[in-house]
Amino acid sequence: MRRTVVIASVVLLLGAAASASNLTDKAISHWMKQLTKSRDARERAEAAHSLGQLRVSEAAAPLGRALGDQNSRVRVAAAKALWALGEQARPAEADLWKALDDGDPAVVVNSAGALQVLDVEPARLADARRRALAIGNLSVRFLAVRGLIGLDPPAALLPHVLDYLDRQAERRHDMRVSAKGRSAADHNFKLADKALSKLVATGDRTLIPPLVRRVARDHPAQPTVLKALATIQPEPDGWDELLATCMQSSEAGTRAAAAELAFKRTAPEQTARWVPAVTRLLPDPDSSVRTWALYAVGAAGGLAAEATPVLVERLKTEPEARIRAQVAETLGAVGDRSQPVSQEVKEQVARQARPALERTVELDSDVDVRKSALASLDRLALDAPVIVAILARTAHQSREEKLTWAALQRLRNRGREAAPALDTIRGLRNSPNAKIAGYATTIAGELERELEQRPVAAASAGGSAAGAPATTGKAGPEPATEARGLATLRARGARFDEHSFFLALMTADPELVEAYLDAGMAADHPFSTGGGRQPLHILFFGRKACNPSVRPTAPAASRIVAALLAHGAGVNATDENGNTPLMFAGDKCDPAVIRQLIKAGARYDLRNGSGLTALEMGIWSGNDGLEALIEAGARLDAKTAAAYEEAYKSMPRALALVRKARRK
């Protein structure tokens, strides 16, 4: 039975295909006859149009002859049909060349289009198109201009493209136009947009003044012109002011486009010009405008701190949950403690945003909004105990698995800072939700083991150890110094957090290290993941600052040491194993750097947790820097020297150092 059905289906499909083919053949025959025999010009034009739509190759010759029809309507339809035929119009090429002299500019531009598809160089068609441009209507002028881009001055062609773009934009938005008409207008608008893009791609800066004037007009095509103008580089003078002006347009698309373009312009001198305008868009009636305004504010971060009160209000009043979640996220971006803006600004945003975000975490009807608000609270410049308490309360009180999980995850990321929440985490091991109970068990176990290994460090003001620590117990930097450091960090695309400071030290980048110190990073900051090591430890732990195979040691090492010491680094600070910076430097740095440390007060007689001095830790390497320790008075007692002589008897450089350091 199934086989019979399949065979019947195939027969029906083949029959339908054959029927369709017969219909097409009949239609072609009908239109060909009507094109060549009808005395009605309207019918001949209709036939030419239909043959062009059917892409009938055998119609090329009759259409070519129709280019000589007495009726211009027929000639125009024939030229358009041949353009549509593309390469299949080759038999009519001679007729198309003759048509370039036609008195109707519409015939001329369409014939030129058909010839260009036949690989005729645009330069050979330019004169015909220029004649059509001089006398044609709006559509003809646009078609002529499309073929003259790259041949004629862009500024002379631009007005025709803009006028056509405007006209098609109006038709797309005119509800009186039929659906078919709006569809055609949409197609033509895209063609005009493409032509405009080709014009601005020339980079001709004479296009800027007329484009700026056109952008100043509120019009449906305004956002398209604005985006085209944005592609000209370098951008026009007063670009940020122009974006701010466009944010006041009556066209929602323009307001959204201006905010979208501002999104990528986050230098302080740029944001200062557009942030006030984009802030006014946050309550915009159009949701796409609100969305792009939020993206722009979030990208500006703390440089858009003035938007915080408006964001707080939007968190209460925004009707769409998706956008409300974005508002919450934007508050976190503006107040992010790791961004390179002043600590004062970050603390101000935290004070303004915290109550609204806490209220959202507790009361918002949408769990994703609550989750976004919790994430933003965790980003703010709040003291670690404050945010840990909020996270613990949320984990304990929430009945939403997604939110409880998020709170636990953030507590886990806090490491030892989450110690005050340990009892809350332990309590969740008994949760009726197996997933939450298992996760809480994992986190509690990790935290208990970590606390056994090391005690909890005191939290830095203004955030967690992993965030943006300020100087520990010291006054903050002078405003001018802080601003200088932050400007360098922004120019280098660096974050103001512990991890980024760590990388700057490990890579021995003096400019960045100095910028972090100027911006307020503590020179004696104990890194949370470094076993209690401070910046000088980190600098000498790797081999970027001092490489024993590079002599003399690169100047960057000495420059960073000087900067750290000037900002209060502890030259004899110890990590959890009792190691001092000198102990890490001894087997890598040259004598000049070792002398720099000793001159700053580094003690060579200190011993680490294994009972070793800096000299004893590094002597195996035979590093020449140890000569400076011996020069300063570092010595080995007779028993230790004898043991080392035996251990290093096959290592001449180390053996020489042992003998030189033997106490007399």
CB within 8 Å of 531: residues ≥ 6 apart: 575, 576, 577
Question: Around Cβ 212, how many Cβ atoms within 10 Å?
Answer: 17
- Which candidate, 646, 652, 657, 592, places its Cα nearest to that of 618? 657
Residue 291 to residue 273: CA distance in whole angstroms: 20
Average pLDDT over residues 462-466: 44
Torsion, Cα 374 380 384 388, to 10 degrees, reads -10
3-state secondary structure of 149: strand
Lowest-pLDDT choice from 21-30, 283-292, 332-341, 635-644 = 21-30
| pLDDT tens, position by position, 511-537 | 999 999 999 999 999 998 778 899 999
Give residue 608's pLDDT. 95
- Residues 517/485, Cβ–Cβ less than 8 Å: yes
Checking if the pLDDT of 475 tops 90, the result is no
Cα angle 254, 259, 262; round to 5: 125
- What's the one-letter identity of residue 601? G
Q: Specify which residues 318 forms β-bridges with.
A: none
Q: What is the pLDDT of residues 583-609, one digit of tens each?
A: 999 999 999 999 999 999 999 999 999
Are 593 and 560 in contact by the 8 Å Cβ rule? The answer is: no
Query: What CATH number does domain 2-139 carry, 1.10.645.10, 3.40.50.740, 3.40.50.300, 1.25.10.10?
Result: 1.25.10.10
For residue 291, pLDDT over 60 is answered with: yes
What is the arithmetic mean of pLDDT over 65-80?
Answer: 96
Closest CA to 369 of 337, 330, 336: 330
pLDDT attached to residue 23: 53
Q: pLDDT at residue 78 above 70?
A: yes
Would you place residue 22 in the very low, low, confident or very high pLDDT band (cuts 50, 70, 90)?
A: low
pTM of the model: 0.85
Taking the C-alpha atoms of residue 302 and residue 154, their distance in angstroms, rounded to an integer, is 41
pLDDT value of position 462: 40
**Span 361-368, average pLDDT:** 97
The pLDDT of residue 2: 43
Percent of the chain with pLDDT over 90: 87
Q: Provide the token pair at 116.
A: 């260009």
- What is the per-residue pLDDT for 453? 76
Cis peptide bond N-terminal to 234, omega within 30: yes
| Residues 586, 617 contacting (CB under 8 angstroms) | yes
Q: How confident is the model at residue 474 (pLDDT cuts 50, 70, 90)?
A: low
Average pLDDT over residues 319-341: 98
Res 9 pLDDT > 60 = no
Q: Nearest 5 degrees, angle CA 216-CA 220-CA 223?
A: 60
Residue 88: is it exposed, middle or buried by C-beta count within 10 angstroms (0-12/13-18/19+)?
A: middle
Does CATH place domain 479-661 in 3.30.960.10?
Answer: no
Is the pLDDT at 469 greater than 70, yes or no? Answer: no
The full length of the chain comes to 664
CB atoms within 10 A of CB 195: 22
Helix count and strand count (H, E) for the chain: 35, 0
What confidence category does residue 57 fall into, taking pLDDT thresholds of 50, 70 and 90? Answer: confident
- Please report the sign of the dihedral spanned by the C-alpha atoms of residue 647, residue 652, residue 653, residue 657: positive
- pLDDT band, very low/low/confident/very high, at 6 (cuts 50, 70, 90): very low
45 pLDDT more than 60: yes
Which is more confidently placed, 176 or 433? 433
Which region among 80-94, 160-174, 463-477, 629-643 has the lowest average model confidence (pLDDT)? 463-477
Residue 21 confidence (pLDDT) above 90? no
What is the average per-residue pLDDT within 455-460? 48
The residue with tokens 């005119």 is 174
Angle at the Cα of 132 (from 126 to 138), degrees rounded to 5?
Answer: 120
pLDDT over 70, % of the chain: 93
pLDDT one-digit tens code per residue, 213-233: 999 999 999 999 999 999 999
pLDDT at 456: 58
Q: Does residue 460 register a pLDDT over 70? A: no
Query: Which sequence spans correspond to the domains of the chain?
Result: 2-139, 479-661
The pLDDT of residue 471 is above 60: no
Residue at token pair 């110690």: 419
pLDDT bin (cut points 50, 70, 90) of residue 5 is very low
Residue 155 is inside which H or E element, if any? Answer: helix 154-173
Check if the beta carbon of residue 417 is closer than 8 Å to that of residue 378.
no
Res. 463 pLDDT band, cuts 50 70 90 = very low
Contacts of 601 (CB under 8 A, 6+ apart): 571, 572
Q: How far is CA 262 from the centre of its chain?
A: 13
- First and final C-alpha spacing in the chain: 110
- Asked whether 106 and 94 are in contact (CB, 8 A), the reply is no
Q: What SS3 state is found at 529?
A: coil
Position 610 pLDDT exceeds 80: yes
Q: What is the mean pLDDT of residues 353-375?
A: 98
Chain segment 95-137, per-residue pLDDT in tens: 999 999 999 999 999 999 999 999 999 999 999 999 999 999 9
Burial class (CB in 10 A: 0-12, 13-18, 19+), 660: middle
The amino acid that residue 508 corresponds to is: A
Task: State which amino acid sits at residue 44.
Answer: R
2-139 and 479-661 share one CATH topology? no
